Amino acid sequence: MITTIEHNKTSYTIDLSKPLDISIPLRASKENVNAWYIDEPKIEPVTNGDWIGKVSKGASTNFNTITFNPHSHGTHTECVGHITTEFHSINQALQHFFYIAEVISVTPKKQEEDYVITKDCIKNMITSSTSEALIIRTIPNVKDKQNRQYSNTNWPYLTKEAAAYISKLNIEHLLIDLPSVDKEKDDGKLLAHKAFWNYPSAPRYHATITEMIYVNDIISDGLYILNLQTASFENDASPSKPILYKIL
């Protein structure tokens, strides 16, 4: 289905029948992607005495309870409420769902014992001055990002300066294929989160960070239309399904 989107007095034509899904599905498996030192998700039928909520066990429906953590178990989108004392909900922060987005591929740089994404890494790859969302694919882009066990791996992360630069570009939505924009063990500093959200001096309440995406190599760097959808959780974060559409 070919359709045209009007945005800031510019028309963009996309084919809605050709979505490019950059989310990672959540599965009840030890092979599910995982971070932050907790067990895998669980999807289990409700039991009530002898009754089991599973058609194969005699029930009329499958009736499962799902136990998971959005920050640990897959693609999720978070708002500034992730780092604030006061409550802020992603369901309230994200009020629009289509954005001009740029995909860039970045090779993190070795810095002592870490690999970091610097301001120069970002600046050298961005080509658009009108994007509202930035999607960062880290290199190497191996397929096991979809089921990697990240705990205690010291993954690459954004420097404070890189996150502040992205914020100053007026990019409202940052998406990355890592469990966090920050260093795994940083003593709670959360420098990149705070710099992107401009917290606490002038918080960007409608800006979001989406982590644990996977951008397949078939998706080239460049401009896309991003459809960013979350489940309607009143929580700092929610599982999400970011979809890209190629601009025709």
The answer as to whether 152 is a domain residue is: yes
Q: Does a cis peptide bond (omega within 30 degrees of 0) precede residue 242? A: no
The answer as to whether 56 is a domain residue is: no
CATH number of domain containing 103: 3.50.30.50
**Cβ-proximal residues to 145 (8 Å cutoff; 6+ apart), any chain:** 24, 33, 177, 214
CA torsion through residues 223, 72, 189, 178, sign: negative
What is the rounded distance in angstroms from the CA atom of residue 200 to the CA atom of residue 166?
Answer: 17
Q: Are 72 and 38 in contact (CB under 8 A)?
A: yes
Token pair belonging to 205: 């309440």
Residue among 78, 214, 89 at smallest CA distance from 145: 214
The answer as to whether 40 is a domain residue is: no
What is the rounded distance in angstroms from the CA atom of residue 154 to the CA atom of residue 129?
Answer: 32
What is the rounded distance in angstroms from the CA atom of residue 77 to the CA atom of residue 36?
Answer: 16
The answer as to whether 68 is a domain residue is: no
pLDDT at 8: 75
The answer as to whether 37 is a domain residue is: no
- List the domain range (segments joined by +) for residue 180: 2-24+75-246
Cα-based angle 178, 179, 180 (whole degrees, multiple of 5): 90
pLDDT at 199: 98
Task: Please list the residues that pair with 246 across neighbouring strands.
Answer: 224
The answer as to whether 15 is a domain residue is: yes
Mapping DSSP to helix (H, G, I), strand (E, B) and coil, where does residue 239 land? strand
As a whole number of Å, the end-to-end CA separation of the chain is 12
Number of domains making up the chain: 1
| Other Cβ atoms within 10 Å of 81 Cβ, number | 21
| Mode of pairing for the β-strands spanning 114-117 and 157-158 | parallel
The answer as to whether 148 is a domain residue is: yes
Per-residue pLDDT of the chain (248 residues; tens, 9 = 90+): 898 888 777 888 999 999 999 999 999 999 999 999 999 999 999 999 999 999 999 999 999 999 999 999 999 999 999 999 999 999 999 999 999 999 999 999 999 999 999 999 999 999 998 899 999 999 999 999 999 999 999 999 999 999 999 999 999 999 999 999 999 999 999 999 999 999 999 999 999 999 999 999 999 999 999 999 999 999 999 999 999 999 99
**Cβ-proximal residues to 226 (8 Å cutoff; 6+ apart), any chain:** 98, 99, 100, 101, 133, 135, 173, 175, 242, 243, 244, 245
Residues 66-70: contacts with CB under 8 Å, at least 24 apart: 66/26, 66/28, 66/41, 66/42, 67/41, 67/42, 67/43, 68/26, 68/41, 68/42, 68/239, 69/36, 69/38, 70/233, 70/235, 70/237, 70/238, 70/239
The answer as to whether 143 is a domain residue is: yes
Residue in the structure block whose two tokens are 């030192």: 37
Q: Are 147 and 32 in contact (CB under 8 A)?
A: yes
